[in-house]
Amino acid sequence: MKVKYFDLKNKRVFISGGGSGIGATIVEHFCEQNSEVYFIDIDVKSSKKLISNIKKKKKRVPKFIDCNILDIKKLQNIIKNIIANKGPIHCLINSAANDDRHTTEQVDEKYWENRIGINLKHYFFAAQSVVKGMKKIKSGSIVNLSSVSWMLGEGDKVVYETAKSAVIGLTRSFAQEFGKYNIRTNSVIPGSIATERQIKNWLTPKYKKLILDSQALKRQLKPEDVARLVLFLSSDQSSGCTKQSFVVDAGIV
């Protein structure tokens, strides 16, 4: 831990897709800040492994709830129960996503709806579920994860890129609507991040070289580069920041 955000201590944080990748690193960083963390994921094995690692490091242990983000009713009930039993959620981090590669020709209506559901739809309904409580305490931070891929127009995952560009519009609309309640909404736009999944599936030596050649900073970005910014945007230290998109891509766009 390089920075201590004292205002994040005991803050209730809800994170989607927190079992692995960037989401898991965000979970761990909030636990390091002694926040009260709840996270959902469909990957039970990875989520339990994360909790075990956090316990070994003697950080505050998060609460994991098994949930498919496509099940909006279950997602909303989970959030509703947390609020009813513990109180309003202070920070919502919409992180869950799936960036499987695909071409336009491979997309049918079922696939389209599935990918929009995974990469966009639950962002809206999770925010809808936490906002009422945030209004009561006149405070809150919502951070939506997008992706630099839509800015680059990479062309190998059109539905994913469509959803991730829409996250920016969603963020700006929420920020304007909820600003009068002192609820802040921002987007974080990661570039090429060396998660386990990226390394396994796509981050070949050739692709890594292409990325590094394109970046202004000549190092591979890691999940903690994103998590640190998410912490800042969740903390009162960023109290003047809302309706903005913050790019973490080492200067690739």
- Report the distance separating Cα 28 and Cα 192, nearest Å: 20
Mean pLDDT of 179-206: 92
Does 1 score more than 80 pLDDT? no
Query: Whole-model pTM?
Result: 0.96
Task: State the average pLDDT for the chain.
Answer: 96
Which DSSP category does 120 fall into? I
Out of 16-25, 71-80, 190-199, least confident range: 190-199
Angle 1-20-3 from CA coordinates, rounded to 5°: 15
Of all residues in the chain, what percent carry a pLDDT higher than 70? 100
Strand 245-248 and strand 91-94: the pairing is: unpaired
Does 158 score more than 90 pLDDT? yes
Task: Kindly state whether residue 206 falls inside one of the protein's structural domains.
Answer: no
Q: How many CB atoms lie within 10 A of CB 112?
A: 14
Number of domains in the chain: 1
Query: pLDDT at position 187, please?
Result: 98
Does 32 score more than 90 pLDDT? yes
Of the candidates 5, 38, 160, 207, the residue annotated as catalytic is 160
Whether 123 is catalytic: no
CATH code for position 20: 3.40.50.720
Burial class (CB in 10 A: 0-12, 13-18, 19+), 171: buried
Task: Kindly state whether residue 210 falls inside one of the protein's structural domains.
Answer: no
- 218's tokens: 């000549």
For residue 240, give its domain range.
Answer: 7-193+222-248
- 85's tokens: 């039993």
Q: CA nearest 197: which of 22, 45, 39? A: 22
**pLDDT tens readout for residues 227-239:** 999 999 999 999 9
